[in-house]
Chain A
């Protein structure tokens, strides 16, 4: 089963509005990361939040982490058409040889100009 699951699956907003995406996971984590994927491209790392952090900012991005609820949210403020992409949360799971990153199914964000 999926470790990270995003909500909503798709989100359509107007340029200038804020976009909030949520991620829930099942087991304990060391850190949680958010990635962006533009259509037809590879994933690009956006932000990493450690399990002992509650909030982190990077430019127009704000990430929160609630380990008691096993959930995280990504807020993009003052969205732009260029923010149109899929956004994935990723959590770590320890395997026998090392860590594996488990990605959620993603939220598809459409920002209309």
Chain B
């Protein structure tokens, strides 16, 4: 009965490979997010989707492509992985509110290491 789940938990891969991370939430939320947390614990938003539509797209290389098949799922595909992509990637979800930012619920993270 995990609220926000991500797979895989760990991902070790070679430079140049393509990989995907999956996220699912069972909270009934309309909005989902992807964050990247670097080695200094700095957490930065990458993308946000509301009801399967992209609403926030920060300055992220085109190699990163999110995809939301339905409002309960938000996957992240990364092409041509680079060393600098090594980080922890967090998925989160929240109710949608046009007036204020709602509380977000985070997944456990996917630890990506690019060799």
Interface residues in chain A, defined as those with a beta carbon under 8 Å from any beta carbon in chain B: 30-31, 33, 37, 40-45, 48, 50, 86, 88, 90, 92, 95, 97-103, 105-106, 108
Contacts and interface: CB of A to CB of B under 8 A. Distances in A.
A42 B43 contact: no
B98 interface: yes
Interface of B: 4, 31, 33, 40-45, 48, 50, 54-56, 58, 90, 92, 96-101, 103-109
Interface SS majority for chain A:
strand
B27 to A, nearest CB: 12
Given A43-B90, A106-B41, A99 B101 contact: yes
Nearest to A97: B55
12 contacts: A30-B101, A31-B101, A41-B108, A42-B90, A42-B109, A95-B55, A97-B50, A98-B55, A101-B104, A105-B41, A106-B41, A108-B41
